[in-house]
């Protein structure tokens, strides 16, 4: 590896790290969640009020959504893969938890609007 190749690798690594840090710091805390089933919203809940929500499908399957301490998670589900239960709790605007077998999406929203830095014409 030549000297210029090393410098290029260092610069690219620093840029990637700065982008990830900027994206992580730029996320705003969520203020409410919307629960969608089969693409349709079935409820909106505040992320600041602790509660337990049971969502049932038409064929009697269920997911239990827990909102506590400003975070949302799926605590229990009877889907065959259980991936929604193993996902970590979410709390930032734009994050979501998805249960594909039950066609369930839990999306976290923020009241703060993203400000544009520039407009491209």
Q: Residue 96, SS3?
A: strand
Q: Which of 88, 31, 76 is nearest to 52 (CA)?
A: 76
* Antiparallel, parallel or unpaired: β 51-56 and 40-46: unpaired
Task: Provide the whole-model pTM.
Answer: 0.71
pLDDT digits (tens, 9 = 90+) for 96-114: 999 999 999 999 998 865 5
Cα–Cα distance for residue pair 92/102, rounded to 1 Å: 23
What domains does the chain contain, in order, with CATH numbers?
Answer: 32-109 (2.60.320.10)
pLDDT digits (tens, 9 = 90+) for 56-86: 988 889 999 999 999 999 999 998 888 999 9
């Amino acid at each position: 590896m030549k000297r210029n190749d090393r410098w290029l690798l260092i610069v690219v690594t620093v840029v990637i790290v700065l982008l990830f840090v900027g994206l992580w710091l730029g996320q705003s805390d969520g203020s409410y969640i919307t629960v969608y089933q089969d693409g349709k919203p079935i409820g909106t809940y505040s992320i600041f009020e602790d509660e337990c929500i049971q969502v049932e499908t038409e064929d009697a399957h269920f997911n239990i959504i827990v909102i506590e301490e400003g975070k949302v998670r799926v605590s229990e589900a009877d889907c065959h893969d259980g991936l929604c239960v193993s996902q970590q709790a979410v709390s930032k605007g734009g994050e979501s938890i998805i249960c594909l077998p039950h066609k369930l999406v839990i999306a976290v929203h923020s009241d703060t609007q993203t400000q544009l830095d520039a407009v491209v014409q």
